[in-house]
Each structure stands twice: as C-alpha cells, then as structure tokens.
C-alpha cells in the first residue's frame, strides 16, 4: 500500500481523526511557545541587529555597524584595551574560564554520584535523595545563600581556614581573582545533581547480565566501570558535556545576583549574557545587544558542532 493510501485509510476513520486532532491540540501550546520565544525571538534579534534604536525613536538602519563594533570590542580586548572599553571581550573571557572550571568537574562529579546511587551499597538511596535536592532549588535562591557563605566571616572561609591554617578571610565577591571561581563553586554544587539524574538513568538501563558476565570474568568494580559501564554511557556523557557547556556559556542568573547588573568590580563578574542584558536594558541599545547575541551564538555553535562530530557517536 502506498503512503498516500495509508494516510487516506488512517484519516477515513473517525476515531483516527479524533486521535490526530487530540494530539495536535496537546502539542499546540508547546509549539506556540517554542515558536514565539524560540524561532520568532531569534529572527527578530537577527533583524534588530542591523538597526540603531533606543526604544523611543524610530529604528535607524545602520547595516553591519553593530557587528563591526562587536568585533572591534573583541579585538580591542585581545590587544589589551582597558576593562571599561571591552566588556564583551571580558564577558567572553570570564565565561570561558567559568566553563573550563564547571563542565569537567560537574560531569565527573555527576558520574561519581550516579555510580554511588546506582550501586547497592547501604544508604545509597538516602544519599541520592539528599544530593538531588539542590537540583530542585532555584539557582537565584542558591546564589543568595552563597553570597553569605562567601563573605569574609562566612562558612567558606571558615572551612578553608580549618583545612588550610592561615588561609585568611578574603571577601570572594569583591576580589577580581575569586568571583568567577565562587560562581563556579555555586554552579557545580547546584547543577551536578541534575546531570547525575541523566547518568543514573543511563547506568540503570545497562543490562544486568552484561555486568554479571564481566564480574564472572574477574573484573572488579573499577575495571567494570572503565571497560563496560563507561563505553555504554558514552552518548550520555557527550550529551551532558554539550548541555553543560551550553548552559555554562549562557550563565546569567549567578552573575546577575552575585556580581550585580554592572558585572562587579572592573567587570570581574561580567559574562556575555549579562553584558547583552546590560547593553539592551541599561544602556538602551538593543540593536548592539542583538548583534552581540548573534556573534556569541556563532561562537558557541561552531565548537559545539565540531565536538559533536568528533565525539558524538550516535548523535551525529
């Protein structure tokens, strides 16, 4: 039977037509939301990037001028421009450092936590429940709590002085060298549990007979994980790295709460998304902010695709 005839038979049934209509109605709200806040927002951002506008006067078409400004900011930062002349570059540099800290640690930590949760060790269920709780907590609330932890007389300095006598009592959020690591610590604590859920699901989907065969062949827990478990969960690891990297590069909430809308002292807590927000809503230049967003999207897209092609396996 041809495809056309199959569709004709399917829609000729009143029951099938009703099921189809119900399915369309169920996915319609999500489709509309995705179109409005996804595709339409992207198209309008790209359109707006060619204009100069301040929300009040009529938009003025200026061609590629906003993109030239964005690339000049990046090049100026590379050539040593002062911090207030290149917030876009500083935001990109900070977020790359933040991503380099967060993604490897949160991925490894999530795998370890998932391995513990998937084991049959006594107390693993209690451990799993207690550690997964941060994943259900708002990142803004977590950031507000950690602001007090990172103060001079806060919990972090207290613990570090117990471990490292004479460490001192720095105010993490007001030191240019410590504010990004402070945000990274908060992100790792708050997001590794979310990734752990992915790895728990992946590990529990591994057939038990495969693990039992490896055990009978004399493989210990470490060898079973390295030679059996890890290869089988590799697609999930790749997915977690990609999702974690994209989320880290787009970090906004922690920087807004912990560094403030202006990016902290000498933009030490500035990120790219925070700079885009600042440009659009504080400096009232949405056209330039849109151009920065498009440039940043391009910079994120290229390495993501290259990584996916090299390590993606089944995701390619």
Digit-coded pLDDT (tens) for 45-102: 999 999 999 999 999 999 999 999 999 999 999 998 898 899 999 999 999 999 999 9
296 is a domain residue:
yes
Same domain, 169 and 305: yes
Half-sphere exposure of 95 (CA within 13 A, CB side): 28
- Contact residues for 290 (Cβ-Cβ < 8 A; gap 6+): 45, 46, 48, 49, 66, 280
DSSP designation for 142: H
Same domain, 40 and 73: no
Grouping H, G, I as helix, E, B as strand and the rest as coil, residue 29 is helix
Number of domains in the chain: 2
Task: Give the span between the Cα atoms of 260 and 265, in whole angstroms.
Answer: 10
53 is a domain residue:
no
Structural domain boundaries, residue 13: 3-47
Query: Per the structure block, which two tokens stand in for 268?
Result: 């030490």
| Dihedral over alpha carbons 242, 186, 179, 175 (to 10 degrees) | -160
Q: Is the pLDDT of residue 15 over 80?
A: no
Task: Give the span between the Cα atoms of 227 and 52, in whole angstroms.
Answer: 57
Digit-coded pLDDT (tens) for 161-203: 999 888 888 989 998 999 999 999 999 988 888 888 889 888 8
Task: Give the span between the Cα atoms of 185 and 202, in whole angstroms.
Answer: 26
The pLDDT of residue 276: 96
The pLDDT of residue 94: 95
Average pLDDT taken over every residue of the chain:
85
Digit-coded pLDDT (tens) for 218-263: 777 778 888 788 888 888 998 899 889 999 999 999 999 999 999 9
Query: Per the structure block, which two tokens stand in for 8?
Result: 């004709």
261 is a domain residue:
yes
Q: What are phi and psi of 61, to 5 degrees?
A: -70, 125
- Contact residues for 173 (Cβ-Cβ < 8 A; gap 6+): 147, 150, 151, 179, 182, 258, 259, 264, 269
Same domain, 32 and 83: no
Same domain, 241 and 120: yes
Task: Give the span between the Cα atoms of 126 and 160, in whole angstroms.
Answer: 27
Same domain, 77 and 42: no
Same domain, 37 and 127: no
Same domain, 11 and 87: no
Grouping H, G, I as helix, E, B as strand and the rest as coil, residue 298 is helix
* CATH number for the domain that contains residue 182: 1.10.3720.10
Mean pLDDT within 257-277: 93
Same domain, 177 and 295: yes
Across 1-15, 88-102, 123-137, 156-170, least confident range:
1-15
Same domain, 244 and 105: yes
Q: Which of 227, 288, 292, 314 is closest to 95 using CA atoms?
A: 292
Q: Who has greater pLDDT, 238 or 6?
A: 238
Q: Which of 55, 211, 235 is closest to 119 using CA atoms?
A: 211
Same domain, 278 and 138: yes
The pLDDT of residue 316: 47
200 is a domain residue:
yes
55 is a domain residue:
no
52 is a domain residue:
no
The pLDDT of residue 7: 53
104 is a domain residue:
yes
DSSP 217-280: TT--HHHHIIIIIHHHHHHHHHHHHHHHHHHHHT--HHHHHHHTTTTSGGGTT--HHHHHHIII
The pLDDT of residue 50: 96
54 is a domain residue:
no
Q: Is the pLDDT of residue 310 over 70?
A: yes
Same domain, 80 and 20: no
Same domain, 67 and 43: no
Task: Give the span between the Cα atoms of 264 and 183, in whole angstroms.
Answer: 12
């Amino acid at each position: 039977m041809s495809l056309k005839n199959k569709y004709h038979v399917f829609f000729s049934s009143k029951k099938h037509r009703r099921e189809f209509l119900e399915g369309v109605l169920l996915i319609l709200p999500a489709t509309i939301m995705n179109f409005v806040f996804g595709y339409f927002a992207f198209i309008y951002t790209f359109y707006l990037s060619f204009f100069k506008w301040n929300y009040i006067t009529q938009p003025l078409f200026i061609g590629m001028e906003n993109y030239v400004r964005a690339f000049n900011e990046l090049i100026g930062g590379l050539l040593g421009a002062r911090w207030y002349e290149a917030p876009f570059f500083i935001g990109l540099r900070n977020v790359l450092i933040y991503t380099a800290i967060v993604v490897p640690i949160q991925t490894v930590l999530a795998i370890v936590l998932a391995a513990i949760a998937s084991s049959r060790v006594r107390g693993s269920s209690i451990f799993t429940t207690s550690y997964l709780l941060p994943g259900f907590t708002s990142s803004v609330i977590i950031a507000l709590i950690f602001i007090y932890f990172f103060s001079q007389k806060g919990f972090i300095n207290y613990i570090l002085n117990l471990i490292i006598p004479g460490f001192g009592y720095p105010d993490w959020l007001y030191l240019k060298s410590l504010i990004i690591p402070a945000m990274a610590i908060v992100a790792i604590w708050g997001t590794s549990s979310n990734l752990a859920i992915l790895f728990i699901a992946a590990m529990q989907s591994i057939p038990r007979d495969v693990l039992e065969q490896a055990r009978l062949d004399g493989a210990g827990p470490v060898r079973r994980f390295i030679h059996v478990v890890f290869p089988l969960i590799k697609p999930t690891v790749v997915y977690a790295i990609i999702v974690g990297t994209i989320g880290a590069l787009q970090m906004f909430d922690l920087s807004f709460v912990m560094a403030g809308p202006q990016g902290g002292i000498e933009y030490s807590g500035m990120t790219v998304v925070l700079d885009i927000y600042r440009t659009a809503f504080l400096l009232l230049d949405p056209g330039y902010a849109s151009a920065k967003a498009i440039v940043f999207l391009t910079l994120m897209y290229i390495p993501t695709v290259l990584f996916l092609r090299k390590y993606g396996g089944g995701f390619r």
